[in-house]
A and B are shown apart, each in its own frame.
Chain A
Amino acid sequence: MIAAFARSLLSGAVVSGTPLLYATLAELIGERAGVVNLGLEGVMLVGAVAGFVAAVHTGNAAVAVATAALAGGVFNLLFAYLVVTRRANQLATGLALMFCGVGLSALIGARYVGRQVSGLAEVPIPTLAEIPVIGPALFVHDVLVYGAVPLAVATWWVLYTTRWGLALRAVGENPVAAFAAGKDPRVLQYQALFIAGMLGGIAGAHLSIGVARTWAEWMTAGRGFIAVALVIFAKWQPLRAIAGAFLFGGAISLQLQLQALGVPISPFVLDMLPYMLSLVVLAVWGGSRRHAAPGSLGRVFQGSP
């Protein structure tokens, strides 16, 4: 009984947390380059619908994920053009991008509602999947689940140990200084936003062809905004993002598990659980975020003085 509950809880946490982690990394990379993207929700939806459409037509999950990543990346380039080249306000443009993504995905997806896809297959990892409780909970998932944590580690590695990562962080802190050092902030921001778009697209595809295996209008249901908050929660650190995404996913899973178990707590209270938990963690670990946020986050680079 307890073993079944633990297995179900862990498995649900991993499944709910995976799209959040991809989305959080997407937002984090963009913000490290100094760009806040409130349109992530729209990017995820474009990825979700592109992945689903590709899965319907090709029946190939790898092609579907690649299509989702490309669609998300290209869609985010539109955002990059507006905020980097046209120097538009990031917050307003992000919100516009969100609504644009909602509408565009609904338009493309309308013909695909109720279509069947085989989606991402579950690939049990040999040996590890045999471990009691933990095995079936953690090692019987699709490849995007397995890829999420290594991707967070890779993001950390790129940001902190490579020249490109250093340049990217420099742009986020002080684009004028980065420019003086010979790095064009605009180029780096375009690169960061393209990669962010790809990750956002993958996050969406995991929802449409990994978890739900269906397309529905606005099926991200606010996860893009949760990811924006998780970046702050993670203090712009990719490794902390792992904890944030899976803690939040775990809270979603826990509240559903408790209901299935028949715990006598109001479903309304349980539904607040992930958000209450986030508030508690922020309060306890709060500390000073003054030095955590990239110095020039949200500012528009006007060119060298």
Chain B
Amino acid sequence: MRGRAVVLSILAVLVSFVTAHAQPNLVVGILHIGSITDAGYNQAHAEAVEVMKKNLPGVEVIEVENVPEGADAERVMENMIKRGARLIIAASFGYLEPALRVAQRYPEVKFVHPGGYKRAPNLTTYWSSTPEAFYLMGMAAGKVTKTNKIGYVVALPISFFLANVNAFELGARSVNPKAETRVVFTGMFLDPAKEATAAAALLDQGADVLGVIVDSPITVVQTAEKRGAYSVGYHYLGAQKFAPKGWISGIAFTWGTLYTRFARQVMDGTWKSENILGNLSDDFFTIAPFGPAVPAGVVGLVNAKKQEFIAGKAHPFQGPLRDNTGAERVGAGQVFPMTDLGKMNWLVEGVIGQPK
């Protein structure tokens, strides 16, 4: 009996020794609003975490999918903290309030939140300004369209989405004064069957380019290709394979570098609360390579504009701008500030659609 006890205690010591060495340098918790295989928004965050893990092998990740916004999110975050998490990525807009409440209770834990409009001493907000990219894709689409009609299938009339559509139309019109953009809102972040019907409706109205702002672009891109139209993707660059002929371009978020930076900062103690707003020169998103439908001359034109945006010599919302009811929104010589995108509740002249 005694010998057995000795062996057991040796084993226990060995096990604790081994586990002590396997202790990660940092535990990161991430909450997703949906499934990480949505070929869209959630997958982008999940892939970014994979990039972070690859860059920082000592980091362990607790990942929870389909967490409802609200009290459930708070509970999941507290659970992660109890399991050792010292950095929490609250990867959905609606996690802001729960994250702020948990952040107050656990001042030693760092929180990061995408798109948040409030901060705390231990909560950083980050987002990337996308209108410049939509402006560039709009330029390409404006050059490619033959009917001068572009259709956009959009989930809901949310300010950030309206801003993207506005920038797209302004980009299209900058190279093609006749280009108009028609918007159909489906009322759902993801309802592929309804998106297919909406896409068909836009094509029937004469659109020959389709863009999409819903969780996954696959259905709209595919519908456009089937009907011989061009397409502009969002969220998931893999959608390109559904449109070998008609693909123009698309953008997707790539948060990997930023997440690596957050984790490294927490580990070496240099993390501080910030409001990070990336732009074209950061690598917070990727613009997909232009498809075969876009002529080389147009690619050159777009890239020149891109450099102007990066150098600060151009702005996608350069006044004078009128909305689609004719009211002036931005005066001559002024710009609509990127920090106010959350207040953009109108659609620019040339967009056919109702913003509310």
Contact = CB atoms under 8 A, between A and B. Distances in A.
Interface in B211-246: 215-216, 218-219, 222, 236, 238, 241-242
Contacts of B195: 212
A122 to B, nearest CB: 9
A37 to B, nearest CB: 21
28 contacts: A4-B204, A4-B205, A7-B204, A8-B200, A12-B197, A12-B200, A15-B196, A19-B193, A110-B37, A111-B37, A113-B39, A114-B39, A212-B195, A214-B218, A214-B222, A216-B39, A221-B193, A252-B194, A257-B201, A259-B184, A259-B198, A259-B354, A260-B184, A260-B204, A262-B352, A264-B354, A267-B184, A267-B354
Contacts of B241: 116
Given A110-B37, A116-B242, A211 B193 contact: yes
A256 B157 CA distance: 14
B94 interface: no
Contacts of B116: none
Contacts of A11: 200, 204
Interface in B120-172: 151, 157
Interface of A: 4-5, 7-8, 11-12, 15-16, 19, 106, 109-111, 113-114, 116, 207, 211-214, 216-219, 221, 223, 252-253, 256-257, 259-262, 264-268, 271
B277 interface: no
Contacts of B98: none
Given A114-B236, A212-B193, A259 B218 contact: no
A207 B190 CA distance: 13
B233 to A, nearest CB: 12
Contacts of B191: 219, 221
A259 B185 contact: yes
B218 A114 contact: yes
A109 B215 CA distance: 16
A257 B194 CA distance: 12
A271 B186 CA distance: 8
Given A116-B241, A256-B184, A259-B183, A265 B201 contact: no
Given A4-B205, A260-B184, A260-B202, A212 B190 contact: no
A256 B354 contact: no
Given A256-B197, A256-B201, A260-B201, A214 B219 contact: yes
A268 B126 CA distance: 30
Contact of B197 (A253, A267, A268): A253
Contacts of B216: 113, 214, 216
A219 B192 contact: yes
A177 B354 CA distance: 58
A111 B194 CA distance: 23
A262 B185 CA distance: 11
* Smallest CB-CB A-B distances: 9 pairs: A212-B192, A8-B204, A262-B352, A267-B185, A260-B201, A221-B191, A271-B187, A114-B39, A259-B184
Contacts of A214: 192, 216, 218-219, 222
Central interface residue in A7, A8, A267, by most chain B CB within 10 Å: A267
Contacts of B187: 267-268, 271
B34 interface: yes
A113 B190 CA distance: 13
A262 B192 contact: no
A212 B201 contact: no
Central interface residue in B183, B196, B206, B219, by most chain A CB within 10 Å: B196
A262 B182 contact: yes
B38 A113 contact: yes
B105 interface: no
Given A7-B204, A213-B219, 11 more contacts: A4-B205, A16-B193, A113-B43, A116-B242, A211-B192, A221-B194, A253-B201, A256-B201, A259-B183, A262-B352, A268-B356
Contact of A260 (B188, B196, B205, B242): B205
Contacts of B196: 15, 211-213
Contacts of B38: 113, 216-217
Contacts of B185: 259, 267, 271
B35 interface: yes
Contact of A216 (B182, B192, B206): B192
Nearest to B187: A271
Nearest to B218: A214
B353 interface: yes
A219 B190 contact: yes
Contacts of B242: 116
A12 B184 CA distance: 14
Contact of B35 (A114, A116, A207, A217): A217
Contacts of B215: 216
B247 to A, nearest CB: 14
